Structure 1
Amino acid sequence: MFYYFVLYKPFEVLSQFSPEGNKKTLKDCMDVPEDVYPVGRLDFDSEGLLILTNDSSLNASLLLPRRAHERTYFVQVEGEVTMDALHQLEQGVLISSNGKKFTTLPTKAKLLASPPQLPERHPPIRYRKNIPTSWISLTLTEGKNRQVRKMTAAVGFPTLRLVRHSMGQLNISGWQSGELRQFNRKELFSKLG
């Protein structure tokens, strides 16, 4: 039997079930059948939408480059983002991955007029009175290691908080951090496109 789950992965939780030092893992957040694993990953210091399944065909279809699914991230960055920085992100920026330089694919980047409706992060972002922050939305079709963080840093705006909000039409609007929902195959695949 195949299982399909979507988790709002909390901050400071590894995208794995096996222990690693004293860090929290998915095992600390939920109870799912033993053969269920995450599709892709979110970094320890990132939050948001994470799909888990025991259906290897879903895993393959989402992770193969030729079947790129759009992933949208809400990103809080340090500083007041400029239109020039957003334009650079849209065109692709030079970053490093696995010791090699490469230019990211074009992306959709926009400044959010107000912070997105998200659960509070624990612990919260450190507030600094003299340093403003901005929220942007980035929609990518590729996912190199720590790519979003490297991209915002490359244009001069380090990432403070990173939340994967959606994959295709599947999103976590209104969800709480740590919330887990189960889907059937048809529901999930229709939302992913």
Structure 2
Amino acid sequence: MEADGIRLNKFLSEAGICSRREADRLIEAGKVKINGQAAATGQKVLPGQSVTVKGRVITASGRKESHKEKQVLLAVHKPKGIVCTTSDKDRAPNIVDMLDYPVRIYPIGRLDKESEGLILMTNQGDLVNKMMRSGNAHEKEYLVKVNRPVTDDFIRKMKKGVHLSELDVTTKPCFVAKTGEKAFKIILTQGLNRQIRRMCKELGFEVRLLKRMRIMNIELGDLKPGAYRELSKKEYHQMKEAIKGSSNLSYKEHKKELSDGR
């Protein structure tokens, strides 16, 4: 560990506990302590200090041992009804418990409870952080079924970008193509909260099925709901090459870096 310490969210991420974003949520919820005292967001862990998450001890030496674990990267078919957060607030079964994988892994990004399809899970903290940065513009492809016939006007507006009144933001232009009377596929490079559902709602449509089919070069294929597979060496190397130049900084860290002129 660095002599001047390491940011707590990075510490937990590299220990394979959760992503940096999830770590910040746990810290804000008072679930993380340093030397028995509730930790604060942005706090650093100093050499010799002990960190606990929900009562589980994660020491500096334990963190070093975590690097000896086999690196895991799985493609998982998340079923409808399963949540991707491990928050105590959601009573629904979560994807970590569903898989019950022998090594502690966590999802890269999210799919909402009502959605299904491909999600990647790993114990590699830096990989999560690079792929979670919205500015890195990694493609995600979805199959969507709605409650009424898809029109040319609907496709045109979805492609151009839709203003989401709830978030007060307009979505980026994207690829959209009709695949059936009441179905279409869409490829996004941003990940706003419940983005596709909100886009459809703004245009008077209701989503009946939302299934993620692809993340970057990784495809869902014929993977059954609840099942998983390890990425092939080819898939892994193609993905690593694609994110090679991506930032693994959090939004706040990136903003500080820019303001410091680095």
Same fold (TM over 0.5): yes
How far apart, CA to CA, are the structure 1 residues paired with 2:225 and 2:136? 28
- Per chain length, whose mean CA-contact separation is higher, i.e. which structure has more relative contact order (CA < 8 Å, sep 6+)? 1
* Residue of 98, 105, 124 corresponding to 2:172: 105
Q: Tell me whether 1:166 sits opposite 2:214 in the alignment.
A: yes
Report what 1:88 is aligned to.
157
Structure-1-length-normalised TM-score: 0.81
Q: For structure 1, list consecutive stretches of 5 or more residues without a partner in the other structure.
A: 114-132
Q: Tell me whether 1:60 sits opposite 2:129 in the alignment.
A: yes
Task: Give the drift of 1:57.
Answer: 1.8
Report what 2:23 is aligned to.
none
Query: How much is the aligned-residue C-alpha RMSD, in angstroms?
Result: 2.0
How far apart, CA to CA, are the structure 1 residues paired with 2:90 and 2:182? 33
CA contact (8 A) 2:147 2:208 kept: yes
- Give the AA of the match of 2:129: A
SS in 1 for 2:127: helix
Report what 1:69 is aligned to.
138
How far apart, CA to CA, are the structure 1 residues paired with 2:213 and 2:147? 20
Aligned residues: 172
Q: Tell me whether 1:183 sits opposite 2:225 in the alignment.
A: no
Report what 2:58 is aligned to.
none
Comparing 182-191 with 28-37, greater Cα deviation is found at 182-191
How far apart, CA to CA, are the structure 2 residues paired with 1:3 and 1:185? 12
Task: Give the drift of 1:78.
Answer: 0.8
- Give the AA of the match of 1:16: T
How far apart, CA to CA, are the structure 2 residues paired with 1:57 and 1:84? 41
Comparing 141-150 with 32-41, greater Cα deviation is found at 32-41
How far apart, CA to CA, are the structure 2 residues paired with 1:84 and 1:109? 12
How far apart, CA to CA, are the structure 2 residues paired with 1:92 and 1:13? 29
Moved >6 Å (runs of 4+): none
Report what 1:147 is aligned to.
195
Report what 1:40 is aligned to.
109
Alignment CA distance shift 1:88-1:49 (3 Å): same
Task: Give the drift of 1:34.
Answer: 4.7
- Give the AA of the match of 2:170: T
CA contact (8 A) 1:4 1:185 kept: no
Task: Give the drift of 1:167.
Answer: 0.9
Structure-2-length-normalised TM-score: 0.61
How far apart, CA to CA, are the structure 2 residues paired with 1:190 and 1:33? 26
